[in-house]
Structure 1
Amino acid sequence: MPEYDKLLQIKLPEALESAIDGIDRSYDLPKQLLDADVSEFEELDCCVFAYFDRDDIFYLNQEGRKLLDMRRSSLDERGRSSPPIFWLEDDAALRAADDFATRRQQPVQGARELVTLSWGKTWLHGTKYPIRSLQGQTIAILFAGYEIPPSRQIKLVAEHYRDTQFGIGEN
């Protein structure tokens, strides 16, 4: 399936680069990103989210917010449901791309993210971009990508849990 991965890398919208240029090297402090103009990200057809740390996501675009409700039952009464959940799985393999983007201050293409949502978990595939301060230090990471099709998700879940469950079932 390497050809599938290459296709996903090529398909990110051209407008993404322009939107990133609008916030990269534009702020001194991470908290200033909370007031950034993110309108260019809202209309993109890919999921875009930004975070200071893996447990501190501060932005999720419209396409990403659609993932929150994607598999919610039509019988579910929204007034009684729990608040939407969107968080990144925290393990060494998934953090490695964050660390690489931060150290090298270069985008990491072909990055994957395992995202936990209200209805379950899903894999995304795309690119991670470092968002830098005026001084050039990485102050946040921005991920842009697409949900991986269900047929491919099954294999990724199996690989992920095989790699993270050391010693289970061994004698």
Structure 2
Amino acid sequence: MPDYEKLLQANLPEALESALEELDRAFDIPKQLLQANVSAFEELSCCVFGYFARDDIFYLNKKGRELLRMRLPSLDEHRNSGPPIFWLEDDANLAAADQFVANRQKPILETRELITLAWGKTWLHGSKFPVRNVQGQTIALFFAGHELPPSRQIKLVADHYQQNQHQIGDN
């Protein structure tokens, strides 16, 4: 079991690297990741989530659960029930980054991710990491990052919709 005090004192990249090293090349099949000890991710000060595919998220850490819950309406009666449901935006550029990390089997340290919830979308800035099986094949990805400030969110949303608008009208 990791020493939490040392993990929290380490800077973010070292703490993430340590937590990811415990998962990397430790399992034969993706399903085994569901039983992995992910306690090292729980106290990190950033949103961390793991996914097999963009539509198959299997883990969200404590900070991520807090981030996504703070956006819920205050009168929501389900506020304290289970982790919030979210999904990753189905965007070609974001999916290409996933594919790049999976194929190259090295992290991208400066990237974004667009999270979609029932109330809307929010952009995160961070890093994507591959998790490989014992044979060295990528079986999952982890994202670790922070929500972007509102001013940056507005610009990214405008840019995102402008790019998608051109694709919708093209024949």
Same-fold status (TM-score > 0.5): yes
Matches within 5 A, 1:14-163: 14-78=14-78, 84-163=84-163
* Alignment partner, residue 4 of structure 1: none
Distance 1:78 1:46 in 2: 24
The alignment-based identity, stated in percent, is 68
Displacement, 1:51? 0.4
Q: Judging changes above 3 Å, is the alpha-carbon distance between structure 1 residues 169 and 92 closer, same or farther for their aligned structure 2 residues?
A: closer
Q: Is the 8 A contact 1:12 1:145 kept in 2?
A: no
Distance 1:12 1:152 in 2: 22
* Alignment partner, residue 4 of structure 2: none
Identify which range, 69-78 or 114-123, moves more after superposition.
Answer: 69-78
Displacement, 1:119? 2.4
* Alignment partner, residue 6 of structure 1: none
Distance 1:85 1:150 in 2: 22
Distance 1:156 1:148 in 2: 10
Q: Which runs of 5+ in 1 are unaligned?
A: 1-10
1:138-165 CA-to-partner distances (Å, cap 9, x unmatched) read 0000000110011100000011111112
Matched position secondary structure for 1:166: helix
Q: Is the 8 A contact 1:68 1:118 kept in 2?
A: no
Q: Is the 8 A contact 2:57 2:87 kept in 1?
A: yes
Distance 1:115 1:93 in 2: 14
Displacement, 1:13? 4.6
Distance 2:70 2:84 in 1: 11
Q: Judging changes above 3 Å, is the alpha-carbon distance between structure 1 residues 31 and 159 closer, same or farther for their aligned structure 2 residues?
A: same
TM (norm. structure 2) is: 0.86
Q: Judging changes above 3 Å, is the alpha-carbon distance between structure 1 residues 16 and 167 closer, same or farther for their aligned structure 2 residues?
A: closer
2:164 equivalent to 1:164: yes
Q: Is the 8 A contact 2:25 2:133 kept in 1?
A: yes
Displacement, 1:169? 7.3
Q: Is the 8 A contact 2:65 2:84 kept in 1?
A: no
TM (norm. structure 1) is: 0.86
Distance 2:105 2:43 in 1: 26
